[in-house]
Chain A
Amino acid sequence: MRNILELKNIGYSYHSLHGETIALKDISFGVQEGEFIAIVGPSGCGKSTLLSIIAGLLAPEQGTIVVNNPDGSLHYPKIGYMLQRDHLFEWRTVYRNVILGLELNHKMTKENLDKVDALLTDYGLDKFRDKRPSELSGGMKQRAALIRTLALEPQLLLLDEPFSALDYQTRLFVSADICRLIRAAGKTMIIITHDLAEAISLADRIIVLSGRPAVVKNQMSVNLTISDESPLAARNAPEFQQYFNRLWEDMTHE
């Protein structure tokens, strides 16, 4: 597998009149095509900042991101970003919400709209297309948010604690559900989470960041023998506890 993105010595600081707060320092790692990466770290360590930099919403103060497209072109991979809450607009129907990205990019072609229709059918949201977001369950809202992201056909999906607004039980199902759909769509994914169990059960590789200023403390590949991608099964895999303990060590020992 080749790296489609390579972060090299990324650094970023927040500035105020009281001084400089270093959020990220010397962060380097590669992102392979089709890989699921989880970034874990203590809260407030700059995980979201890192994701914003990868998304191109913020420019890094130090370092570069090297693009390495399979076809050798130099354009930045198309990014899909999922925020902490679904942010579906209540003044639009579910359908008008999921085509928001197409609308903003003036890509409302028949072809693209057909793709959205297919996704709505696949994800069981077809009969809710004319409903308001508030009429959907938490899981369905996340699916609608995912369709909104996928409609623009991103190559790299960035998820910033996308399930943190859900209750625990729903979260277990929805996180596995959404990640299964993203895998099925053949996308690359970087997810931020502070839930170690979630990281182990979802990701191929886990990147552990330290507290502020955040540096990459450890990287660890996850290979679970049980991989039918149901979250509970993954949690029952014999290696799960070992991974968990190792992560816990990394997180707690400075």
Chain B
Amino acid sequence: MNDTEMNREGMDSENKGNKRKKEKNHSTQLTKQEEFVRKHRRHHHEIASWRTIIFVLFLILWEVSADLKWIDSFFFSSPSRVARCFVEQLQYNALLSHIGITLLETLLSFLLVLLLSMLISTLLWHSSKLSEILEPYLVVLNSLPKSALAPLFIVWLGTGAKTIIVAGMSVAVFGSIISFYTGFQQVDAEKITLVYTLGGSRRDAFFKVVFPGSIPILLSTAKVNIGLALVGVIIGEFLAARRGLGYLIIYGSQVFQLDMVITSIIVLCIIALGFYKAIQMIEHQIKIQFKM
């Protein structure tokens, strides 16, 4: 078989593929395709409606049981009390600035975690001896409950944004280093050999193979990290802040304004959802960029 025959074979199979597709579009297959698309859409609508129904039912049940005194709305609040509290907080207590502070601190600690764990995991990849030496330390630090460290951070760094950002980072950073490093190591060793056979250096191996090859793992780790950073920031705010949602929750519980606590928790839910969606969008964009 020669060169042109090879090509012909390639093109033949392509043509066959196209023909098959065309047949589908032109004959009785058409309705099947439509049916499939409709089924797919119906499925998605169904999922979305159930999600909404559960949410609305929950709100109604909560409101009704508070109105009928099945639960004490002083302790358990109610959707209407939450809405009122939300508006009050907006007007008299600068709720937006509390939200803004928490958001800012979370984003900062998230970005610092990404940067730091990228640097350290690259270093670990570069020196397998270093990674072998540091492994037990990383494992211990990762499994240590970080809230136990928060009091120390307060003493060392005072009660300010610095402490809270460090608290946020402490929750995510060790796990993130471990995930990044594991991701780097899982890259096919033969692909690295390939770079060497083409005359590349270890640095080339990292930038041409290891890093681009681990992007999916980097993204999924980032998704986990933003949530963990939020956890750490709230822990920090519990202990060391005068502003932020964590502070509102602690303050609300101390003055027995449980409406304030529950409103803040609901705002936190919305923030967590927002972060998740944002990362998902970034992930989608990167995947388009790299056609993954």
Give the interface of A toward B (CB within 8 A).
55, 57, 79-81, 83-85, 87, 89-91, 100-101, 103-105, 123-124, 132, 137, 139-140, 148, 152, 173, 176-177, 180, 230-231
Contact = CB atoms under 8 A, between A and B. Distances in A.
Contact of A104 (B208, B215, B292): B208
Nearest to A78: B199
Contact of B1 (A104, A105, A177): A177
Interface in B188-219: 188, 190-191, 193-200, 204, 208-209, 212-213, 215
Interface stretch (B6-14, B90-98, B277-285): B6-14
Contacts of A100: 195, 198, 208
Interface of B: 1-3, 6-7, 9-10, 13, 188, 190-191, 193-200, 204, 208-209, 212-213, 215, 290-292
29 contacts: A57-B197, A80-B197, A81-B194, A83-B197, A84-B190, A85-B190, A87-B188, A87-B191, A87-B194, A89-B208, A89-B213, A90-B291, A90-B292, A100-B198, A101-B199, A104-B198, A105-B198, A105-B199, A124-B6, A124-B10, A137-B13, A139-B6, A139-B9, A139-B10, A140-B10, A173-B9, A176-B1, A177-B3, A230-B2
A89 B10 CA distance: 21
A178 B5 CA distance: 14
Contacts of A173: 1, 6, 9
Contact of B190 (A87, A91, A124, A137): A87
Contacts of B208: 89, 100, 103-104
A226 B40 CA distance: 58
A90 B191 CA distance: 12
Contacts, number: 72
A175 B109 CA distance: 54
Q: Which of B3, B190, B213 has the most CB of A within 10 A?
A: B3
A57 B292 CA distance: 32
A124 B212 CA distance: 28
Contacts of A85: 190
Closest 6 interchain pairs by CB?
A81-B197, A104-B200, A101-B198, A124-B7, A91-B212, A91-B290
Contacts of A80: 197
A83 B215 contact: no
Contact of A79 (B2, B197, B209): B197
Contacts of A91: 212-213, 215, 290-292
Given A89-B212, A91-B292, A176-B1, 17 more contacts: A57-B196, A79-B197, A81-B194, A81-B197, A87-B194, A89-B208, A89-B209, A91-B215, A91-B291, A101-B198, A101-B199, A124-B10, A139-B9, A152-B198, A173-B6, A173-B9, A180-B3
A49 to B, nearest CB: 13
Given A90-B292, A91-B213, A104 B10 contact: no
Contacts of B200: 104
Contacts of B190: 83-85, 87
Contacts of B191: 87, 89
Given A90-B292, A104-B204, A137-B13, A177 B6 contact: yes
B215 A137 contact: no
A83 B194 contact: yes
Contacts of B290: 91
Nearest to A134: B291
A173 B9 CA distance: 11
B193 A104 contact: no
